[in-house]
A = this chain, B = another copy of it.
Amino acid sequence: MTREPDDLQRIFEFIIELDKLKAIVRRTKPTVLERYENSAEHSWQVCLLAVLLAQHSRQPVDVTRVVEILLVHDIPEIDAGDRIVYEAPSDARTATERQAASRIFGILPEPQANWCMSRWEEYEARESSEAVFAYAMDRLMPVLHNLESHGQSWRENNVSLEKVLSVNAVIGEVLPAVWERVQVLIAKSGAGDRT
């Protein structure tokens, strides 16, 4: 009687806290819009990309687990902000993200907090096939956007084609045919050209 309402209240509070991810702005623009995309709508799109490309994975992956990971993977950005993948990682950034995950997932009742934290930690560790596949999807999505926008976020952030190819090479480890195709498209589209 007393526990049920408390747990519910914490779930409601967490869900409303998630609204803040709609205000976290990424570096890429949705193809049809002038504005930058936010991390909430990105999270939805990358889940669908994972579902649609799972069959192209070199190793079999549990798609359910991949989607669970992708639903929570950006939530700590609510406190830590978005970081472009081409920036060097730092210990300070990692600590900030971990604190953010603890605070935000900690709003939830313990079983759900643990559920979220375990999926986020799995993503961060990049050890399971599912985490690596999820990471490859998170890398591929902005590449697909850049193919459509003549390299908008690469140009704006001064990212060289060489860096694009090296940082995103993980896509090739996970989905060789997809990465091969994407490299052809980058060359064809001129998205990697500096203007």
Contacts and interface: CB of A to CB of B under 8 A. Distances in A.
Contacts of A67: 64, 67, 71
B32 A19 contact: yes
Interface string A27-42: 0001111000110110
B71 A15 contact: no
Q: How large is the interface on A (under 10, 10 to 19, 20 to 34, 35 or more residues)?
A: 35 or more
B108 A15 contact: no
A33 B147 CA distance: 30
A144 B16 contact: yes
A47 B30 CA distance: 21
Contacts of A15: 45, 48-49, 52, 141, 144
Interface centre among A14, A15, A44, A48 (most CB of B within 10 A): A44
Interface in A1-53: 4-5, 8-9, 11-12, 14-16, 18-23, 30-33, 37-38, 40-41, 43-45, 47-49, 51-53
Interface of A: 4-5, 8-9, 11-12, 14-16, 18-23, 30-33, 37-38, 40-41, 43-45, 47-49, 51-53, 56, 64, 67-68, 71-72, 108, 112, 115, 141, 144-145, 147-148, 177-178, 181
